[in-house]
Amino acid sequence: MEGITSGLIGIALGVAVLLLGKNLRLFAAAAGFLVGFILIRQIIPGAFLTALIVAVVAALIGLVLVTLARSGTRLVLQIMGAVAGAGILLWLGQSLGIASGLMAWIIAFIGALVGFGLMARFFNLGIIVLTSLLGASLIVNGLGSFITLPGVVSTVITLVLAAIGFFYQRRR
């Protein structure tokens, strides 16, 4: 039951972010959800309900931060970019089997730096790139609950979905 629930949530949220990524509130909520879910699953393996609760709380925090930050919206979105970057690289490292223990924290830190830098330097493009990758990661992570995908296959599917999301959002 846990796998089905998390899979459906991941796919639904991923599709929404992939197609509606320029919605900043949705972007912030999805980034918080992904990072909260993956981090708790890394720290406490098998604690699905705890991971789900933390993910929902992290999503709500991201949503509230973007909603309340009127003058500092750009900084808050850069921080959300860092959160999204960390979540995307954590998921990628996890799917390839290289993210565990200290290595997971190093990967998360690198992802956070890249996400923050992308949002700081190329704001509009950064939102599109990060939401495309975030949405694709959520979809493939959700699919992983239903079928077992080898790490390389899930990475390729993620990149293909991210490319589709990128071009779709650029045309909108």
Q: Where are the domains positioned within the chain?
A: 2-171
- Residue 70, pLDDT score: 65
Query: Largest alpha-carbon pair distance within the chain?
Result: 45
**Percent of all residues in the chain with a pLDDT value above 70, rounded to a whole number:** 94
What does the pLDDT read at residue 154? 83
Cα separations (Å) of 56 from 25, 28, 97?
14, 12, 25
Distance CA 27, CA 29 (A): 6
pLDDT at position 129: 84
DSSP element (H, E) containing 112: helix 102-121
User: Quick one: which of 149, 124, 120, 123 has its CA closest to 136?
Assistant: 149
Q: Which is higher by pLDDT, 32 or 165? A: 165
How many Cβ atoms are within 10 Å of 123's Cβ, its own excluded?
A: 13
Rounded (10°) CA dihedral 145, 35, 103, 130: 100
Half-sphere exposure of residue 43, counting CA atoms within 13 Å on the CB side?
Answer: 10
The beta-strand segments (E) located in 33-123 are: none
Mean pLDDT of 30-41: 79
